[in-house]
Amino acid sequence: MVERNKIKSTIIYLRTSTEEQNPENQKRDCIALAKKLNLKDYEVLEEKQSAFKDNVKREIFDSIKQAVNKKEIKNLIVWDLDRLFRNRKKLIQFFEFCKIYNCKIYSFRQEWLESLNNIQEPFNEIMFNLMLQIMGWLAEDESKKKSERVKSAVRTDKGVTRSYRGNKWGRKTIITKKLIEDCRKLKQQGLSIRKIAEQVYYYDQSNNKKKISPALVFKLLKK
């Protein structure tokens, strides 16, 4: 989270989507951009989280938005616009939000953002909105292409979905012969589906003990 007493007028926001990605390259480039823009009073904030999924909470980014809303941040520097949002509509909305609260966005990979500041009004705003639409669409399109490439590598063989390496694809099923037998025995003893769910369990891939849901009990009893 961004603390109020540590807010700087310029924020460098680094986001990586997985634990394997290294933000050091982003950091080096963004700091170089800050120096080029003569923005010395900056703070670097890092976050490992997706910018595409709707149900994923980004605490650092949410804190930045709150600070922008309070007009505490004047400049926001990112390595690429997709570090903010991959979704086109959300990216546009965020730019509009920052514009309302006088926060400028700079991107190392999108140098045109700097060039737009030199265009005379009202053409600067027209060009800005046009380029924003294009860049947002490209970010969203690239994400969809990656998803399609993954799906195209998946094959179905005799009802089993496998990757191009031959490994089974998707979540490992928890339905086993033992689970079915346990549920049937408890049902014969007169237990309700809810009571059966409270007593039957399995071990996940990490060897953690897990209870099954009443819906799964109902499914197992029908087998």
pLDDT of the residue at 8 = 83
> Per-residue confidence at 201, pLDDT binned at 50, 70, 90?
confident
Determine how many CB atoms are found less than 10 A away from the CB of residue 30: 24
Cβ contacts of residue 79 below 8 Å, gap of 6+?
14, 25, 26, 29, 30, 107, 108, 109
Give 181-198 pLDDT, tens digit per residue: 888 999 899 888 889 988
- Which comes out higher in pLDDT, residue 170 or 1? 170
Determine how many CB atoms are found less than 10 A away from the CB of residue 160: 10
Q: At 182, which amino acid appears?
A: D
Q: Quick one: which H or E segment has residue 155?
A: strand 155-157
**Positions of CATH 3.40.50.1390 in the chain:** 4-149
Most confidently predicted of 6-15, 33-42, 193-202: 33-42
> Per-residue confidence at 1, pLDDT binned at 50, 70, 90?
very low
pLDDT of the residue at 4 = 47
Q: Provide the whole-model pTM.
A: 0.58
- Cβ atoms 179, 212 nearer than 8 A: yes
The C-alpha angle with vertex 109 and arms to 152 and 93, in degrees rounded to 5, equals 80
With a cut of 70, say whether residue 106 has pLDDT above it. yes
- CA 115/CA 124 separation, integer angstroms: 9
Determine how many CB atoms are found less than 10 A away from the CB of residue 192: 12
| Beta-bridge partner residues of 211 | 201
Average pLDDT of the chain?
A: 80
CATH number of 4-149: 3.40.50.1390
With a cut of 90, say whether residue 107 has pLDDT above it. yes
